[in-house]
Amino acid sequence: MGLLIRNGDVVTAGRRFTGDVYVEDETIVAIGTGLAVPEGTEIVDATGKFVFPGFIDPHVHIHLPFMGTFAKDTYATASVAALIGGTTTLIEMCCPSRHDDPLDAYALWKSKAAGQSACDYTFHMAVTRFDEETPEQLRQIVADGTASFKIFLSYKNFFGVDDGEMYQTLKLANELGVIVTAHCENAELVSRLQQELIAEGKTGPEFHEPSRPETVEAEGTTRFATFLETTGATGYVVHLSCGPALAAALAAKERGVRLFVESVVPHFLLDKTYAERPGVEGMKFVMSPPLRDKRNQPLLWDALTAGAIDTVGTDHCPFDVEQKLLGKDAFTQIPNGIPCVEDRVNLMYTYGVSRGSLPIQRFVDALSTQPAKLFGLYPRKGEIAVGSDADLVVYDSAYRGVISAETHSVNNDYSGFEGVAIDGRPSLVTVRGVVQVRDGVFVGERTRGEFLRRATNPAYSQPAATDFSHDSTPELQPRS
Ligand code: URP
Ligand code: ZN
Ligand code: ZN
């Protein structure tokens, strides 16, 4: 049976029009106005509502052994939460520790998702050490359809790679045509600052931000960009949080480094005062890079509007109150992460589009189309076009509600956005033509989700920069 979404305000990154979208089986087969459809077609009246392409979250953690514990979600919970919030594809970080075997880890991460996800999914493969076996292992993983890597410049001795390993990862990625995503903070500086603060008795969550100041993130971003420039690889900074790191990324982009930027929902809307709340209330807001001074938020919003920030993800990473309390005696032991996979679309719509100045097509671009394009899913995903997967979100901007852990579907006992108002929510969400959500309720197939195999991209295989004619070294002024 077909599905007709009739008379909606269809908004994609490139077009906006009032019309109909007709779906048969898994794909969009017709777009127009007043479409005639076969008898028996389910008809959804989208008059007065938006119709968006299914949203893609380019950065989530579901299975995550980290800081002595495990993130709380499973695919059964996270994929349903994602769908209720309008996200139809998840890109999960596959994150073995540096002591794990990458192929075993990759198989383990895939097994956690297979047959258990309600939405489609794929992975970024974290490279957490680089030895003589790594190239062949990564080739196998890329051949399996996981065509993006992740590196951490932070989390020394666990996920973190050193500069030599980063260099080798980028060289291989460039050879294979794979984009490399990176968590950019200077591991050594974080480690030193943490030790000093703890030695001074500064153990509470309010000292998490001072242990990873903006300069530390700017240094990581600059270094990553320099390594991209030198190797010719293409990179993507994850969860960029502050002005100095943004300036570093923009400077690199301007001089032609192939670098893309993601920021995540908590950094647009929460600030470091949340982590300064006493006790566990502050611990709930510990993530890395940390929540920053509020003055950074307008910079992030402006850069998002201008397209200097390419995508918006969540870095969804739920740890419950009991787990957060592992760090009650030292902020360095608080499991890092804030959950928000369910809330990304509603929050960015509310505070970007409805109450802010983010153009609605840029909103769709950053939350759906750009993740699809950068990570090899376009035009299957991230688009409303004939032949694209019928992942569709009918969005009711007349809905008014409040986010709460009491009502969310994420497997966590708190929400970082408790009590925050939203000006809209999906009224209908489809995954490849099947209605999965109606008006905030999951009504679909819990095992509908498929693993998305992605091809490598020749555009990510470029010569290294040997011509530094863009040299921007300032002229030195002779001393008088
Ligand atoms: O605090 C965070 N971001 N937790 C998840 C791990 C990471 O760095 O992405
Ligand atoms: Zn990270
Ligand atoms: Zn992350």
Cβ(183) – ligand 1 distance below 6 Å: yes
Nearest CA to ligand 1 atom 1: 287
> Binning pLDDT at 50, 70 and 90, where does residue 476 land?
low
Q: How confident is the model at residue 475, as a pLDDT?
A: 55
> Binning pLDDT at 50, 70 and 90, where does residue 474 land?
very low
Q: How confident is the model at residue 472, as a pLDDT?
A: 47
Nearest CA to ligand 1 atom 5: 337
pLDDT over threshold 50, residue 262: yes
What is the Cα–Cα distance from 307 to 91, expressed in whole angstroms? 21
Q: How confident is the model at residue 1, as a pLDDT?
A: 82
Taking alpha carbons only, the member of 260, 345, 421, 269 closest to residue 88 is: 345
Q: Residue 46 is which amino acid?
A: A
What CATH class has 54-382? alpha beta
What is the Cα–Cα distance from 237 to 216, expressed in whole angstroms? 14
Nearest CA to ligand 1 atom 7: 288
Taking alpha carbons only, the member of 229, 331, 344 closest to residue 272 is: 331
For residue 57, give the ligand nearest its CA.
Answer: 3
What are the pLDDT digits (tens) for 85-141? 999 999 999 999 999 999 999 999 999 999 999 999 999 999 999 999 999 999 999
Q: How confident is the model at residue 478, as a pLDDT?
A: 53
Q: How confident is the model at residue 473, as a pLDDT?
A: 47
Extended beta strands in 239-286, E state: 259-264
- Please write down the HEC assignment for all residues of 350-414: HHHHHCCCCCHHHHHHHHHHHHHHHCCCCCCCCCCCCCCECCEEEEECCCCEECCCCCCCCCCCC
Do the beta carbons of residue 189 and residue 216 sit within 8 Å?
Answer: yes
What is the Cα–Cα distance from 351 to 334, expressed in whole angstroms? 29
- For the domain 3-52+385-398+422-442, what is the CATH superfamily, name and number? Urease, subunit C, domain 1 (2.30.40.10)
Cβ(315) – ligand 1 distance below 6 Å: yes
What phi and psi, each to the nearest 5 degrees, are found at residue 160? -70, 145
Please state the atom number of ligand 1 nearest to the C-alpha of residue 287. Answer: 1
Domain boundaries, the chain: 3-52+385-398+422-442, 54-382
What are the pLDDT digits (tens) for 296-351? 999 999 999 999 999 999 999 999 999 999 999 999 999 999 999 999 999 999 99
Rounded to the nearest angstrom, the distance between the alpha carbon of 159 and the centre of ligand 2 is: 10
